[in-house]
Amino acid sequence: MLNISNNKLNAKVNLKEFKAFKKVDKQRHFKIFNRFLAAFAFAMFIILFLPWTQNVSGKGYVTTLTPDQRPQTIQSPIPGRIEKWYAKEGDFVQKGDTILHISEIKNEYQDPDLLYRTEQQKEAKSKSVLSYQEKIKALKTQVSALQKERELKIAQAKNKLEQSRLKVKSDSIELEAAKTNSTIAKKQYERTITLQKEGLKATRDVEEKRLKLQETQAKLIAKENDLLVSKNAVINAQIEIRSIEATYQDKISKSNSDRFTAESNRFEAEVEVSKLANKSSNYAIRNAMYYITAPQDGFINKAIRGGLGETFKEGEKLVAIMPANYDLAVETFVDPMDLPLIHLGENVRIRFDGWPAIFFSGWPNASYGTYGGKVVAIETSISANGKFRILVAPDKEENPWPENMRVGSGANSIALLEDVPIWYEIWRQLNGFPPNYYTPSTNISKNN
C-alpha cells in the first residue's frame, strides 16, 4: 500500500496478522542490505584512489620489420603463355629456383632463332663498318697521292714556264741583234750605192750588199716570229699550270667527297650495329624472362594464375611467395589525438589473436598472455583509415613472440603511459579528454 489516502488502512487493520505482510516486512534483511551497500560504497570510494595506468590502445596486424621480408607477388614483365610449372603451392624455393616456364605470344618474338639471326645481322653490319673504314683509308691515301702528283706536275709546269720565259729573253736579245745587223746591212747597202754612183764600187758589190740586207731583214722577221712563239709558250705554260691545278683539285675534291660519303655510310652502319646490339641484348634478356624464378628464399603461398596454356598480360600477378627468413613486427594504428603520446623506443604490450591472454587495461602487471614490444617507427602522414601507423618490434629483453606467429594475424597493442588515480581516469573518459601528455624519462634517440 502506498498510504497516499487520508484513510489510514494500517490504523484500522492490523497488517501483521496477514501472512503476505509477514513475508514482505522483514526489517532485519533491510538492515543487512543497507550495510552491504555501505560497505560496497566505501570499497568503491577506496578503489577510486587506486592507481590506474593510462594507455593508448591500437588495433593492427602482424607484419615484418623490413619491406623485403613481407609477402610478395611475382609478376611477369612480359606477356606470355604458361607452359610448365616447376613448383606447387607450399613448396620451399631458394633464390634463383625456377617456378614456372612461359612462352612468347607476340608475333615479332616467336622466331626461335631470333637472337641468332640478330647476331648475324650485327656481325654483317660490323663487317660493313670495317669495309667503310678501309675505303676511307684508301681514299685518304688516294687524296695524298693526288696532292703529291699535283705538286710534281705543277713544279714541272713551272719549270717549263721558266724555260719559256728564258726563251723569251733569249729571243728578245737575238731580235735586237737581228735589228742591229739589219740596220748595219742597210747602211752598208746605202753607202755602197753612193760609192757606185761615184764610180768607186762595182755593181757586183751593190748586189752583194743588197742580198746581205735582204738576208738580215729575213732573219729579223724570223727572230720576231721566234719571240712571239716564245711569248705564246709562256702563256701556254701559265695556262697549263692553272689547268693542272683545276684538274687535280677536281680529282681531290671527288676523292674527298667519296671519303665523306664513306664516312657517313660508316656512321650509319655504326648506328645500325648499335641498334642491333641493343636488340640482341634485349632479346637475350627477354629469353631469360621466359623462366620465372624466385627472388629470394621462401614458400609458394598461392598460384594466382594456374593451368597450362593460360595467357596473361605483362605485369599480371602469377605467384604469391612468403620469404622464409623474416623478423616479425606489429603494424598498429592510433588515433591522431593519441599520436603526441607515442615516442620511439617506448614499451608496448601486445595481445595476439589466437593466443589466450587475460588483460587488465589499467593494471598491466596483473595481465597474462601479453608480449612486449618497442616502437621503432612512427608514420609522419595519416593513413587512409584516418589514423597514424605505428610499427612495433619485439622487445629483446622480454619473452620472445610465439614461434607459430604468421604474418597477417591480428594484434592489439597497448602503449603504457603514466599512473593516475581511477577517479581521474573516469573523469577524463566521461569528458572525452586525452590522456596526460607523456614524456619519456630517458632521452630516446630516433635512430633506435
When pLDDT is cut at 50, 70 and 90, the band that residue 1 belongs to is very low
Residues of 297-311 as b/e, b for ≥16 C-beta within 10 angstroms? Answer: ebbbeebeeeeeeee
Return d(Cα 302, Cα 101) in angstroms, integer. Answer: 16
Residues 61-74 have a mean pLDDT of 86
The tens digit of pLDDT for each residue in 271-292 reads: 998 988 898 888 888 888 889 8
Residues 175-184 have a mean pLDDT of 83
* C-alpha 307, offset from chain centre: 36
Yes or no: say if 168 and 230 are a contact pair by the CB < 8 Å rule. yes
**pTM tops 0.75, yes or no:** no
Cell numbers given for 269 = 652502319
Q: What is the predicted pLDDT for the residue at 107?
A: 82
Q: Which domains are present in the chain?
A: 1-47 (no CATH), 51-70+326-448 (2.40.30.170), 72-104+290-323 (2.40.50.100), 114-288 (1.10.287.620)
The tens digit of pLDDT for each residue in 149-162 reads: 888 888 888 888 88
Mean pLDDT, the chain, rounded, equals: 80
CB count in 10 Å sphere of residue 313: 11
Higher pLDDT, 428 or 126: 126
Q: Which of 171-175, 200-204, 240-244 has the highest mean pLDDT?
A: 240-244
Q: What is the predicted pLDDT for the residue at 425?
A: 66
Return d(Cα 181, Cα 213) in angstroms, integer. Answer: 9
* C-alpha 97, offset from chain centre: 27
Return d(Cα 130, Cα 266) in angstroms, integer. Answer: 8
Element (H, E) at 91: none
The tens digit of pLDDT for each residue in 429-445 reads: 676 666 655 555 554 44
Scanning the structure block, which residue is given the C-alpha cell 632463332?
A: 113
Is residue 177 over pLDDT 80? yes
Higher pLDDT, 162 or 7: 162
Residues 249-255 have a mean pLDDT of 88
Q: Which of 56-65, 105-114, 256-265, 401-410 has the highest mean pLDDT?
A: 256-265
